Amino acid sequence: MKIDFYQVVYNLVKKIPKGKVATYGQVASLLDKPKAARLVGLALARSPAGVPWQRIINRKGMVSIENLNYPKELQVKILQKEGIKIMRRDNNWWIDLKQYLWSK
DNA sequence: CCGTTGACCCTTC
DNA sequence: AGAAGGGCCAACG
């Protein structure tokens, strides 16, 4: 069976441990496609059950989901449950990447 | 098959 | 230092 790029993304994302987060660009780089960050986002938008999509955030450490199936609140809630501290600034949510960024 | 589509990122004003 | 614009590339219709 042919595995497409999306599947590879899912496999990698599943390896991120609880309590850590990764950025879209980071995931793309690990897959040898540093410029495919947007594809990672697309892949996660269609992620099947079992993929911890909530652990992927953008480069600034901000939760980026806006008008999709899941509200930002849900993502934040899950991450907090996993032990991550999240700060609120204006109407956005921020994570301290220095502290929580996953490194292989 | 070809154009469009993005949960992004980097360079340049 | 902050905003804006363009590039990127596989999947989808």
User: For the residues A74-94, what does the mean pLDDT come to?
Assistant: 91
Contact flag, residue A29 CB and nucleic strand B, below 7 A: no
Decide: helix, strand or coil at residue A63: coil
Contact flag, residue A74 CB and nucleic strand B, below 7 A: no
Residue A92: in which H helix or E strand, if any?
strand A92-95
What's the CA A64/C1' C1 distance, rounded, in angstroms? Answer: 22
Neighbour count for residue A59 (Cβ, 10 Å): 12
User: For the residues A67-95, what does the mean pLDDT come to?
Assistant: 86
Q: What is the pTM of this model?
A: 0.92
Ranges A29-38, A53-62, A66-75, A78-87: which has the least confidence: A66-75
Which nucleotide in the DNA or RNA is closest to residue A46, CA to C1'? B7
In sequence order, the 6+-apart residues with CB closer than 8 A to the CB of A95 are A21, A57, A61, A62, A63, A79, A84, A85, A86, A87
Q: Determine the Cα–Cα distance for residues A67 and A56; give it in Å rounded to an integer.
A: 16
pLDDT digits (tens, 9 = 90+) for A58-79: 999 998 765 455 778 889 999 9
